[in-house]
């Protein structure tokens, strides 16, 4: 699509999986009942965090960012701060899944799994592992692809 608003409007789930250093859509475009998934801090605007009623995270501990060199790029530093205004909305994903805290309580709520997009917790691995497992199982069922030999990934120390 030529306009990102066309992608957001009418979607049940909005997924941002980019390496963008700026927001890739406006939280003003979100509609009642939508769920947003984000992989990294910069791709969400503050309006999305504001409008999300429930923000699921992996854990409340602050994410750790590793960068090359002695200092963090300014774009990452700006998003490395924990946003205290969203704290009351934060719910650990595991606690939602076991019923310790409520998830969505009505169909009109906008929800978000923010990964590191919210600042407090990186969920990147969870999202890729979950979808990767689903893709792998679907490919096996359809007899697509081929097995890759283990020795392609194992190296032996040489003297």
For the stretch 17-54, pLDDT in tens is 888 888 999 999 999 999 998 887 788 898 999 999 99
Please say whether the beta carbons of 40 and 119 come within 8 A. Answer: no
pLDDT at 121: 47
Q: What pLDDT, on a 0 to 100 scale, did the predictor assign at position 128?
A: 67
CA dihedral defined by 11, 63, 58, 38, rounded to 10 degrees? Answer: 10
Write down the pLDDT at residue 111.
Answer: 96
- Give domain status of residue 155, yes or no: no
Q: Is residue 23 part of a domain?
A: yes
Instruction: Look at residues 60, 46, 57, 35 and name the one whose alpha carbon lies nearest to residue 114.
Output: 57
Q: What is the pLDDT of residue 66?
A: 57
Gap between the Cα atoms of 97 and 2, Å rounded: 37
Q: What is the pLDDT of residue 123?
A: 56
Q: What is the model's pLDDT at position 7?
A: 92
In a domain, 152, yes or no: no
Residue 159 domain flag? no
**Per the domain annotation, does 132 fall within a domain?**
yes
Q: CB neighbours of 9 closer than 8 A, spacing ≥ 6?
A: 29, 31
The whole-number mean pLDDT for each consecutive block of 10 residues of the chain, a chain of 159 residues, reads 92 88 94 91 87 87 60 51 73 91 96 66 61 86 89 74
User: Is residue 73 one of the residues assigned to a domain?
Assistant: yes
Residue 154 lies inside a defined structural domain of this protein: no
- Expressed as residue numbers, the domain containing 113 is 4-147
User: In the chain, how many domains are there?
Assistant: 1
CATH of the domain at 38: 3.40.50.720
d(Cα 97, Cα 51) in Å, to the nearest integer?
22
């Amino acid at each position: 699509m030529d306009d990102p608003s066309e992608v957001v409007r009418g979607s049940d789930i909005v997924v941002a999986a980019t390496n963008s250093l700026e927001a890739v859509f406006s939280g003003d475009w979100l509609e009642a009942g939508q769920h947003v998934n984000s992989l990294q801090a910069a791709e969400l605007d503050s309006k999305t965090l504001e409008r999300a009623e429930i923000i699921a995270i992996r854990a409340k501990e602050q994410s750790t960012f590793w960068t090359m060199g002695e200092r963090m790029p300014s774009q990452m530093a700006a998003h490395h701060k924990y946003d205290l205004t969203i704290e009351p909305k934060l719910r650990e994903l595991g606690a939602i899944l076991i019923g310790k805290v409520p998830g969505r309580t009505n169909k009109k709520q906008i929800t978000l799994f923010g990964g590191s997009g919210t600042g407090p917790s990186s969920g990147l691995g969870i999202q890729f592992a979950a979808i990767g497992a689903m893709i792998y199982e679907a490919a096996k069922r359809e007899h697509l692809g081929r097995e890759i030999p283990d020795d392609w990934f194992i190296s032996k120390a040489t003297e």
